A and B are shown apart, each in its own frame.
Chain A
């Protein structure tokens, strides 16, 4: 990674003055680019953005999220997706095109309280996010442990090209499903590996803003240093 300037910023801080492109979590006033949240500012290839350290989940199209069924209507399920908006999963998405509210019972497939891995199919300002389970690895989650972390820390848990999550999965033999909304399901046949994986995920949540995190997670998991040298140094 070349020439990335990083700084700690709080709302209102002027990150840079000049003809640069404002990206996430910044706004432009005149030629000043100003941060809108607490986080770490990055200037990279003429683009300015802030990686937030706090904040709520705002759905984006194509995000993988983990949702919990909170209600049903005749034509859809309603999901809590850890956001200020309720996710909708149309019944046709599960039952197919010949779904009829008189014939099929929604609760037979997904009941209130069930966890589901879903993808945000569509979301804009005018309506609540529309979910879909029509893809590989999506659908009802049958087993596993649910962990909640701050949605702003999800990218850190994944790491550069998935390095962090691969490290944890390889060391513990656990399967970790990460929802962009900060809900994470960890499942593992070995109870010790499960505990280790949960501990590692929580560690990333607590120490997300510190440098050399992959190294520290590795030493916690007992992986000797130098192996799998695909680390992020921030």
Chain B
């Protein structure tokens, strides 16, 4: 077993307990999608592409009152050390569902009845916390598409490693740590749209963990915001 934390509180990848991995986001990287984003979240490399609103196929899925959202989270065969079967696994189906439910509250689709908005998330390289990174990229890609949104969605995980609450759990800490809690919020309204918990926490730890994760989400939001502003307002000469 690797040592997850040194005595002076430095984690296995050299971070402090309250430090995020390096994050960079690029907006509008795909020409053929209506909106797109690429995120590097530590060693995670994730592409998100959005199509829509567009016609619903199969037709019976269409809703006469509002647009619908579909989400696909997929890991490339080469995203992990051992080849991953490209067929959707149980885990990918679950993540697709939670991504959809985490993005839905932020979108205003009532002006697009009988249409669908498709979000495709492709994990090129995975390193723990990929559902949060995927959500961050998907939210930015949706904003790039121009679909009306109440707010962005920012996501970040927190967890318990070596009996301490840490921000942004990486792959080793996820495998061998004691708890992992991905959280997504709508940063301006502060509403939580995703909260999962794998592991056991006392109620005190739970509160700290949630607060730590929300703090992380707010840091991620600043990066998302900067990426969008860079794409839209700094490309031309001002």
B96 contacts A by Cβ under 8 Å: no
B236–A53 touching, CB < 8 Å: no
Residues in A whose Cβ lies below 8 Å from that of B232: 8, 38, 53-54, 209
| A120 part of interface (Cβ distance < 8 Å) | no
Say whether A37 contacts B188, CB under 8 Å.
Answer: no
Measured in the bound complex, the distance between the Cα atoms of B236 and A126 in whole Å is 40
Q: Which residues of A contact B149 (CB under 8 A)?
A: 11-12, 36-37
- Residues from chain B with a CB closer than 8 A to the CB of A11 are 106, 143, 148-152
User: Nearest Cβ distance between residue A124 and chain B, in whole angstroms?
Assistant: 10
Do B115 and A84 touch across chains, with their CB atoms under 8 A apart? yes
B residues near A211, Cβ cutoff 8 Å: 238
Asked if B55 contacts A84 (CB within 8 A), the reply is: yes
| Chain A residues positioned under 8 Å from B151 (CB to CB) | 11-12, 34
Give a binary string over A1-29; 1 marks a CB under 8 Å from any B CB, 0 the rest: 00000001011111000000000010101
> How large, as a class, is the contact surface on chain B?
35 or more
Complex Cα distance A14/B187, Å?
A: 12
Cβ of B164 within 8 Å of any chain A Cβ, yes or no, is no
The answer to whether A55 and B146 touch across the interface, beta carbons within 8 angstroms, is yes
Is A207 an interface residue, CB under 8 A from the partner? yes
A108 in contact (CB, < 8 A) = no
Decide if B53 touches A56 in the complex (CB within 8 Å).
yes
Task: Report Cα–Cα, A58/B189, bound state, in Å.
Answer: 27
Q: Which residues of B contact A85 (CB under 8 A)?
A: 114-115
B144 is an interface residue with CB less than 8 A from chain A? yes
Complex CA–CA separation, A127 to B94 (angstroms)? 35
Contact B146 A38 (CB under 8 A): yes
Chain A residues with CB under 8 Å of B186's CB are: 12
A209 to B233, CA, bound (A): 7
| CA of A8 to CA of B226, assembled, Å | 12
B87 at the interface (CB under 8 A from A): no
- Which A residue sits closest to B225, measured CB to CB? A10
Docked pose: A126 CA to B54 CA in angstroms: 16
Contact B144 A54 (CB under 8 A): yes
Residue among B35, B144, B146 making CB contact with A152, cutoff 8 Å: B146
A29 to B229, CA, bound (A): 24
B112 within 8 A of A: yes
Most A CB contacts (10 A, CB to CB) among B34, B115, B236, B238 go to B236
List of B residues within 8 angstroms of A25 by Cβ? 148
Report B-chain residues with C-beta under 8 Å of the C-beta of A27.
Answer: 108, 150
- On chain B, the residues within 8 Å of A10 by CB distance are 143, 152, 225, 228-229
| Also in contact, A209 and B150, with CB within 8 A (given A10-B228, A54-B35, A84-B52) | no
6 further interface pairs, Cβ-Cβ under 8 Å (given A8-B229, A25-B148, A207-B236): A11-B148, A12-B149, A55-B145, A125-B111, A206-B236, A209-B232
- Across the A-B interface, give the 10 residue pairs with the lowest CB-CB distance, nearest first: A55-B146, A12-B151, A54-B146, A11-B149, A36-B148, A210-B236, A12-B188, A84-B53, A84-B115, A8-B233
